[in-house]
Structure formats: structure tokens, C-alpha cells
């Protein structure tokens, strides 16, 4: 940590929390800033968003659809957004529907709340555009979350392969200072995320999105926050799992053992590893080996 080039970590500027407006009799909430775009697209009520097929369908699962939409910015071009629609049937929600109650915590509401919590903690994520939820009479809980596209960002594993040569490549040494800054930036976000009490449960490289506005300056955003939790107790196993997932998915031809050690020191905010730090490393490595036996080595 004595290299001066590694000392500056770019962090997002704190901004005022978005003003979320309640729409459609409290079934939908929208960021006031994006309301004109939603109005132009006819997406100002819960039913219209759950029914829309105006974008591109990216993925379909039994209980979820992922869409990419482009909304008109009123003479300033179009803006990409990502929409997740959830439809979940459960006995709990069936009973709540019979009793005339609302749904239990829905994936749409959970992810929206996680975006807000991370923003309050100074950790950059997606910008929340809108979310909503409802409970059908047949017990199916419907919900959605709509977020702004991270324009100019690339997921971490792809960014590493596009931006940096493998360790045996001719440019590896020349690019090392910039790679070290990127490693420090990712470790800083992961460390602040865990110290704030969060765990992700899917903290793979693909959920860190990176942008390089100028050479060697990196902005880091976290995405896919549906499964994020904030725990006060019994957190260690989830922190270990997060770190093992990140280590498992890091491209080995770019992230060597030395660079992984640099990550750990920045993550722990230390220049010297203590016995408790080494114990954490051993636990993470053991979890990573378990993942490799079960899933194979990450491509």
C-alpha cells in the first residue's frame, strides 16, 4: 500500500435521496425525476408496467422476466432501462389474498429498498426509476422494479479481459498500475458494503459494473440487489460466501495471487495481515475450492 498511485479511490458523490411518488392507489412508486418519461410511455400504473412488452425480452424464468426498455427523454434521445417482473405463487400469499391483505415482502419491493439502502450508505448501485407490487385474488404476488441502465459501464470480468493483457502478455507490466487501481476500487466497494452490514449472496464479478472515465480512474457500481440482506448477527458465513464467489469468478489469467493479496489488504484496510485476517483468507479459499469441485473451474 506504499504505491502513491493506489491511494486515491473514486467514490460516488452523495446526492439527495430520490423523491418517490406514490401512484396507482399505492401499488406503484416512481422517482419524480423520471415521471415524464413514464408518462410518455404510458407506464404510470402497476398494470401497464406488468403488461408491457414494448421492450426486448432478455430472460424468462418460471417466476420472473427480465426486459430492456428504451424510454423517450423528450427531445433528448432515448434512455435504456431494465425491468424485472416477478410473479410468485405461495400458500402464504394465497391465504393473504383470501383475508384481503396485501402481499408479503415481494422481490420488487426488496430490490428497490436495497437500492435505497445502498445509496444511503454511499455505495453506488443502479438508479431506481420505479417499483410496484400487488396481490392477485388467486394468491399470485406480482411485483416489478425498474432501474436506469448503467450507460458506459461493463461488467468486471469482461472489463478485465478487454482492458488488460494476461499476465504473460507483453503489456502486463506497463498496465500494472492501472490494474492495481481497479483492484483497489473494487476492494474498497466490497469492504464498505460488508462493513455496512450487507451481504449480496451473488457477489460474482458480473455484478460489479465498471466505467473508466479517464485513464486509471475507475467507477464501480453494484447491480442485481434482489437477494441482498443486511444482517446484524451470524454474518461471517455470508461474507465468506460473497468473497469466495468473487474470487471464484475473477479471471485467473489477469488476477494473480499477488493481485488477490492486494485486493485482500485493501478490502481489510490493512498493510499487514494479522492472524484473524489469515483465518478469513483460509476460510474463503476453502469455500472457493468447494465451489470449484461442485461447479468446475470458472471459465
What pLDDT, on the 0 to 100 scale, is given for residue 74?
86
Number of Cα atoms under 13 Å in the Cβ half of residue 12:
22
Q: Which of 13-17, 40-44, 61-65, 199-203 has the lowest mean pLDDT?
A: 13-17
CA distance linking residue 103 with residue 93, whole number of Å? 6
Residue 128 lies in a domain: yes
- For residues 142 and 240, state if they share a domain: no
Domain count, the chain: 2
Residue bearing the bigger pLDDT, 188 or 7: 188
What pLDDT, on the 0 to 100 scale, is given for residue 232?
85
- Domain encompassing residue 88: 20-148
Listed residues 148, 169, 197: the one ending a domain: 148
User: Per residue in 32-59, pLDDT tens?
Assistant: 999 999 999 999 999 999 999 999 999 9
Burial of residue 297 (number of CB atoms within 10 Å: 0-12, 13-18, 19+): exposed
Cell numbers placing 284: 474463503
Residue 12 lies in a domain: no
Residue 176 lies in a domain: yes
What pLDDT, on the 0 to 100 scale, is given for residue 233?
87
Residue 14 lies in a domain: no
Listed residues 119, 148, 177: the one ending a domain: 148
What pLDDT, on the 0 to 100 scale, is given for residue 11?
60
What pLDDT, on the 0 to 100 scale, is given for residue 234?
86
* pLDDT, mean of residues 218-222: 97
Helix (H, G, I), strand (E, B) or coil at 231: coil
The CATH number assigned to the domain holding 279 equals 1.10.510.10
Helix (H, G, I), strand (E, B) or coil at 124: coil
Number of Cα atoms under 13 Å in the Cβ half of residue 121:
21
User: Per residue in 119-164, pLDDT tens?
Assistant: 999 999 999 999 999 999 999 999 999 999 999 999 999 999 999 9
Query: Are the beta carbons of 41 and 53 closer than 8 angstroms?
Result: no
Q: Given a cut of 80, is residue 65 above it in pLDDT?
A: yes
Residue 6 lies in a domain: no
User: Per residue in 228-280, pLDDT tens?
Assistant: 999 888 899 999 999 999 999 999 999 999 999 999 999 999 999 999 999 99
Residue 79 lies in a domain: yes
Q: What are phi and psi for residue 213, nearest 5 degrees?
A: -65, -25
* pLDDT, mean of residues 12-33: 84
The pLDDT > 90 percentage for the chain reads 84
CA distance linking residue 123 with residue 287, whole number of Å? 26
Burial of residue 71 (number of CB atoms within 10 Å: 0-12, 13-18, 19+): buried
The pLDDT > 70 percentage for the chain reads 92
Residues annotated as catalytic (active site), given as ranges: 202
Q: What are phi and psi for residue 212, nearest 5 degrees?
A: -115, 90
- The answer to whether the pTM exceeds 0.85 is yes
Listed residues 131, 148, 165: the one ending a domain: 148
Mean pLDDT of the chain: 92
Q: Given a cut of 90, is residue 174 above it in pLDDT?
A: no
Q: At CA 226, angle to CA 225 and CA 228, rounded to 5? A: 60
- For residues 119 and 188, state if they share a domain: no
Amino acid at each position: 500500500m506504499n504505491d502513491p498511485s493506489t491511494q486515491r479511490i473514486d467514490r460516488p458523490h452523495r446526492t439527495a435521496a430520490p423523491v418517490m411518488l406514490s401512484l396507482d392507489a399505492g401499488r406503484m412508486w416512481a422517482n419524480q425525476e423520471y415521471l415524464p418519461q413514464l408518462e410518455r410511455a404510458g407506464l404510470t400504473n402497476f398494470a401497464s408496467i406488468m403488461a408491457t412488452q414494448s421492450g426486448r425480452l432478455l430472460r424468462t424464468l418460471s417466476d420472473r422476466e427480465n426486459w430492456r426498455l428504451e424510454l423517450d427523454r423528450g427531445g433528448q434521445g432515448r434512455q435504456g432501462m431494465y425491468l424485472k417482473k416477478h410473479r410468485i405463487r405461495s400458500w402464504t400469499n394465497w391465504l393473504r389474498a383470501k383475508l384481503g391483505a396485501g402481499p408479503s415482502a415481494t422481490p420488487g419491493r426488496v430490490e428497490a429498498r436495497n437500492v435505497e439502502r445502498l445509496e444511503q450508505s454511499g455505495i453506488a448501485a443502479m438508479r431506481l426509476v420505479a417499483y410496484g407490487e400487488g396481490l392477485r385474488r388467486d394468491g399470485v404476488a406480482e411485483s416489478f422494479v425498474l432501474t436506469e441502465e448503467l450507460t458506459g459501464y461493463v461488467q468486471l470480468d469482461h472489463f478485465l479481459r478487454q482492458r488488460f493483457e494476461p499476465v504473460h502478455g507483453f503489456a502486463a507490466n506497463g498496465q500494472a498500475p492501472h490494474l492495481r487501481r481497479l483492484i483497489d476500487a473494487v476492494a474498497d466497494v466490497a469492504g464498505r458494503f460488508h462493513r455496512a452490514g450487507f451481504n449480496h449472496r451473488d457477489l460474482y464479478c458480473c455484478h460489479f459494473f465498471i466505467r473508466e472515465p479517464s485513464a486509471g480512474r475507475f467507477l464501480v457500481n453494484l447491480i442485481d440487489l434482489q437477494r441482498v440482506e443486511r444482517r446484524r448477527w451470524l454474518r461471517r458465513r455470508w461474507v465468506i460466501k460473497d468473497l469466495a464467489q468473487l474470487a471464484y469468478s475473477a479471471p485467473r489469467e489477469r488476477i494473480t495471487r499477488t493481485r488477490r493479496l492486494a485486493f485482500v489488504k485493501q478490502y481489510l484496510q490493512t498493510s499487514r495481515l494479522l492472524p484473524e485476517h489469515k483465518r478469513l483468507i483460509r476460510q474463503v479459499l476453502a469455500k472457493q475450492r468447494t465451489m470449484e469441485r461442485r461447479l468446475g473451474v470458472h471459465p
